[in-house]
Structure 1
Amino acid sequence: MSQKHANDAKAAAAIPPPPARSNVKRFFLKVSEKMGGVEQTQYSANFIETCQEVDNYKTVLDYVNASLMGVVQRNPKLITNPMERMEYEYHENENPFESLYPALKDICGQMNNGGNELKKQVDAAAKLGSIHRDFHRRSRRCLRSVRLFLCIEYEELCEARRILNERRQDMDFAKHELKNAKAPEVIEMKNLVYENAQKHFESHLQKKKCANL
């Protein structure tokens, strides 16, 4: 983390949090917001477009992930949910080639003629089981960055967006209350609340912009 970002984080932490509002009051403020009674701060077109691109990227990766899982693991019953975790490897000794090996070995021991040829198939089954399992491990490792985005990074971005929307709402509510304040001492207090809410919003907005890059 750069010194500037560290200083920004310290400054944001020093800002007093928005005042706690009861669920009832927050509900009515939301209703007023929907009806136009509370002016809603709008995000820039570029910010909205960037967020949409992230959502579209996630949608495409979901499709790519599902397609790749179908190629890597032909048995859909072994692909666990959620699919983004990419857990599709066989349990020990449940790989088809690993299951085939003991059966072929048993038959080979009972045959007199043609046993050498069957022994080649037994050896091949043993090798294929190991190769197939290694293929699953390597394919999952190659898709680590995709799995990281789907399982962790995108969820973190969604959480950051949720918090940002809450900070925007706090700021808009504080601005609405400031506009409706009458007494000088109330105006002074509400103005301080609004300024703090605005600083919280701008701090989270900057974090979200950096996360989208």
Structure 2
Amino acid sequence: MTDLVRLVPRMPFGRDEMKQLAERLGWTLHAVQEGEPDAPEGVPFEMIWISVDQKSAIHWIEDHLLQVNYIGITGPSRAHTEVLLRDVLDVHSPNSMTDLFDSARDADSLMNSVRMLSIQCQGDYDPQLFALLRWAVNDPSPIVRRVTLLAASTISWAEIDPLVQYVRDHDLDETVRAEAAQVLDIIRSRATRAATSEKTGGEE
């Protein structure tokens, strides 16, 4: 989705609450997209509404791979819709994510925080959010580090490559190092495709 604005609601907020919010704001339900039986693993569930001005599409996304529910906004008036949603809905920010990490008391809560962080990191580079990724990828628990690598595989920031490379070369856990190598291949292949696409587009 091009220029997708992502908002991660602070819990608890689920599908039913999203339906109620859409009805209250007068949005029109446009589509419901569920993964087909033969769809690739991790294809998210989506409900899509059209805003009152018909210039924004609001997506409720249940990402089964990352285990995160979030709101995506597309369309010419996405900035206006984002402001509207921030006014009526409590959503995460870099500061609230830092608080979430600070309050994590066990591996499970930290992994949940990392999953939400992965959605926050889909926009422009943010040093505060990147610091949280570095924190998580150095956590004593190998499973937390592995979940952080999964999150890193979805992020296109240039700073991700050297971070994952460091894990591949220096992590004490063999499984973590192996998964870091796989993630490094993913992000470098994605970067190569993006560069090729940009070059091809520039030549047209």
After TM superposition, the score normalised by the length of structure 2 is 0.25
Bigger helix share: 1
What's the TM-score, normalizing by structure 1? Answer: 0.24
Q: Which has the higher contact order (CA 8 A, sep 6+)?
A: 1
